[in-house]
Amino acid sequence: TALTVWGGVPPRLTTSNGSQGTFVHLLRETCCGLISGFPIFSRQPYIEACPAQADGTTSKMPPIEKDTGKNELKSQIQQLIDSNQVMVFSKSYCPISVNSDLFALSRGVNYVTLSTEDGTTYQEMLLEMTGQKSVPNVFINKMHVGGCDKTMQAHEDGSLKQLLSGDAEAYEYDLIVIGGGSGGLACSKEAAMLGKKVMVLDYVVPTPKGTTWGLGGTCVNVGCIPKKLMHQTAVLGTAMQDARKFGWEFSETVKHNWDTMKTAVNNYIGSLNWGYRVALRDKSVEYINAYAEFIEPHKVKATNKRGKETFYTAAKFILATGERPRYLGIPGDKEYCITSDDLFSLPHSPGKTLVIGASYVALECGGFLAGLGLDVTVMVRSILLRGFDQDMANRAGEHMEEHGVKFLRKYVPVKVEELEAGTPGRLKVTAKSTESDEIFEGEYNTVLIAVGRDACTDKVGLDKIGVKVNPKNGKIPVNDEEQTNVPHVYAIGDILEGKWELTPVAIQAGKLLARRLYKGATLKCDYINVPTTVFTPMEYGSCGLSEEKATELYGQDNLEVYHSLFWPLEFTVPGRDNNRCYGKIICNKLDNDRVIGFHYLGPNAGEVTQGFGVAMKCGATKEQLDGTIGIHPTCAEVEVDAAKRPFFFLTQQTC
């Protein structure tokens, strides 16, 4: 039996089989769905909106005033969404409806389509409510699915069938975010602001030394923030040495107090931890300090520090668990060594320190420790800053050596022994050459391991729900919308396969993901030309490709590299680091000399690199940089007036 229905603002009606229906406005003589098992046939549009009266008659509905009727219209739309398991708002022929298999799943389900062609008021309100500009606008079980593409995708990945299931589970939360770092917090707050019920589960597993911290993740507690503050401490030490050359006179001996710095830094971090908790509360995000583990596709077990287990369910999950430092797997590493997770809250000065590794964490920590006046050695297995431009990495390393950091190259540690307990104690490190049978032995107060980081994905139950993980590194492969192979599980941040391990990237990805899921947005995170800075004593900023990667992709003959050494004005009076700062721009000759790599070694690298990152995002060419007038006297102007490698010998440039 064909059921033909008309409508405007839908009242209720009883169909021929006694089931409850809703007036709808459909547009074309096409079978486009099922209501309680009946095919719906559409007709030409009925322009007048005619709600039925109690006696079955109809009358024209008064026009909705733009201001006074706004709340009423929103209420009417929300009532439709709440009272119909499947609600589709369409403006013309709905492409979703063509697929007979798609809504065959809805047999026995109240499937309703309402046309908005008789005015823009419905679509304007739907835009305000969902952020989606286009039609159709599909809701299932009160959840906004999206438009045609999103609905078809849900059909293909199986989540539509689950949503349409008559006995579908009512989940406690729309979204559970596992991980309270920068990306997870940004995503959770964005989703909550879009009206979703959100929970954040976050738990810090103590280090072998017992170190733990509060809400905010690695960056805030044991990463970017304390690192930059301690780097700044070292920079101030250098500034005091320069100050005498600028006429400042102070006779007292200048020394550094580790405890004062550590306390000040950790007090600031504590204020950030509290601020994050307040922000979650203000956005109505529920925060639970517990370790999450999947036990079913939509169910997690949360275990708090006392061992109490609680279970939660959600329609969608976002993994934002981040990474933790990797240990060496040698005798004494976890017993006697520390990592960056321990360094920033170390209760005493580390004293004579061996840094094992050549990662950016290793060079940054070794750099600021040396800047505090400590004896620092960096043990390097192979190269510095793997993945970065090696010309720039070696220049940063050379500067560190010139300023007192010792490098022990081509060695790997084989064991660490305790000679004397204390604060600090004494440790003996035995290492073996990677090129011969030569053995090295040395004594240090502290051994800091910084050989890389591992994704925290192996103990959260991903195997139980079928999420694919790279077995070699624990990273999670995702599509361009941060979706894993399990449709309702997404991932962001450092745990993603082949993506940047940077806080701003995780924040951007988290916000955009929430908007796509719950606002109908389409913008995706752009992982290309991401600017970053390594805070070595001489800071190194980069954006785009290294010279090695550019050569691999385009060939040396298709590249033009522009570069220059320079001497910052502020270094001239103290007479230090002459001819050590360096700028390099890599251009693709096949694409109008477009800038594909930017590299800067000098003071305030982050501030300089950020601006060039914007230019590269806009597709800057060398000609455009040449046409840009630099700010004088600054270091940044060197990058817009770089010398050309094939024709000029590298010489220092000053004012």
The region of weakest confidence among 38-52, 112-126, 231-245, 291-305 is 38-52
Instruction: Provide the pLDDT for residue 149.
Output: 77
What DSSP state is assigned to residue 567? -
pLDDT, tens only, 170-220: 899 999 999 999 999 999 999 999 999 999 999 999 999 999 999 999 999
As a whole number of angstroms, the longest Cα–Cα distance in the chain is: 100
Mean pLDDT of 580-592: 97
Task: Give 203's contacts (C-beta < 8 A, 6+ positions apart).
Answer: 289, 290, 291, 292, 303, 304, 305
Beta-bridge partner residues of 146: 138
Q: How far apart, in Å, are the Cα atoms of 257 and each of 56, 231, 342, 343, 375?
A: 85, 15, 18, 15, 16
Question: What is the per-residue DSSP string for 339-363?
Answer: -HHHHTT-SS---SEEEE--SHHHH
Residue 476 in contact with residue 495, Cβ under 8 Å? yes
Q: How far apart, in Å, are the Cα atoms of 195 and each of 75, 439, 652?
A: 15, 62, 57
Helix (H) / strand (E) element for 21: namely strand 20-22
- 353 vs 54, higher pLDDT: 353
CA distance 554 to 527: 20
CA distance 84 to 359: 56
Q: Reduced to 3 states, what is the DSSP secondary structure of residue 226?
A: helix
User: pLDDT exceeding 70 applies to what percent of the chain?
Assistant: 81
Instruction: Provide the pLDDT for residue 20.
Output: 38
- 252 vs 516, higher pLDDT: 516
CA distance 8 to 48: 7
CA distance 4 to 17: 13
Q: How many CB atoms lie within 10 A of CB 169?
A: 12
Instruction: Report residue 435 as tokens.
Output: 């090129």
For tokens 């032995």, what's the residue?
Answer: 441
CA distance 176 to 197: 9
Residue 266 in contact with residue 404, Cβ under 8 Å? no
Task: Give 596's contacts (C-beta < 8 A, 6+ positions apart).
Answer: 544, 545, 550, 554, 586, 587, 588, 616
Instruction: Report residue 67 as tokens.
Output: 């201001």
Q: What is the chain's mean pLDDT, rounded?
A: 85
Instruction: Provide the pLDDT for residue 25.
Output: 34
- Split at pLDDT 50, 70, 90, the class of 110 is low
Beta-bridge partner residues of 564: 583
CA distance 605 to 636: 9
Mean pLDDT of 320-334: 98
pLDDT, tens only, 309-318: 999 999 999 9
Q: Reduced to 3 states, what is the DSSP secondary structure of residue 323?
A: strand
Please check the confidence at residue 6 and state whether its pLDDT lies above 70.
no
The model carries a pTM of 0.79
- Split at pLDDT 50, 70, 90, the class of 21 is very low
SS (H, E, C) 41-106: ECCCCCCCCCCECCCCCECCCCCCCCCCCHHHHHHHHHHHHHHCCEEEEECCCCHHHHCHHHHHCC
- Split at pLDDT 50, 70, 90, the class of 113 is low
CA distance 407 to 513: 43
Residue 396 in contact with residue 601, Cβ under 8 Å? yes
Helix (H) / strand (E) element for 522: namely none
Residue 143 has φ and ψ, to the nearest 5°, of -95, 135
Instruction: Provide the pLDDT for residue 79.
Output: 84
Task: Give 514's contacts (C-beta < 8 A, 6+ positions apart).
Answer: 175, 187, 188, 190, 191, 194
* Cα 295 from chain centroid (whole Å): 26
CA distance 111 to 120: 23
Mean pLDDT of 507-525: 97
- Which has the closest alpha carbon to 384: 422, 357, 405? 357
Residues with active-site annotation: 632
Supply the Cα-derived Rg of the chain in whole angstroms.
31
CA distance 534 to 359: 10
Residue 160 in contact with residue 303, Cβ under 8 Å? no
Q: Reduced to 3 states, what is the DSSP secondary structure of residue 242?
A: helix
Please check the confidence at residue 361 and state whether its pLDDT lies above 50.
yes
Contacts 24+ apart (CB under 8 A), 269-278: 269/213, 269/214, 269/216, 269/220, 269/221, 269/225, 269/226, 270/214, 272/216, 272/220, 272/225, 273/213, 273/214, 273/215, 273/216, 273/220, 273/221, 274/214, 276/180, 276/185, 276/215, 276/216, 276/220, 277/215
Instruction: Provide the pLDDT for residue 33.
Output: 39
- 88 vs 448, higher pLDDT: 448
Please check the confidence at residue 648 and state whether its pLDDT lies above 50.
no
Instruction: Provide the pLDDT for residue 26.
Output: 31
Find the angle CA(650)-CA(651)-CA(655) to the nearest 5 degrees: 140
Helix (H) / strand (E) element for 413: namely strand 411-420
What DSSP state is assigned to residue 300? E
Task: Give 462's contacts (C-beta < 8 A, 6+ positions apart).
Answer: 294, 319, 469, 476
- 34 vs 353, higher pLDDT: 353
Helix (H) / strand (E) element for 38: namely strand 38-41
The region of weakest confidence among 60-64, 243-247, 373-377, 393-397 is 60-64
- 263 vs 159, higher pLDDT: 263
pLDDT, tens only, 114-162: 554 444 677 788 887 777 777 788 888 777 777 877 777 677 656 676 6
Please check the confidence at residue 47 and state whether its pLDDT lies above 60.
no
CA distance 261 to 279: 27
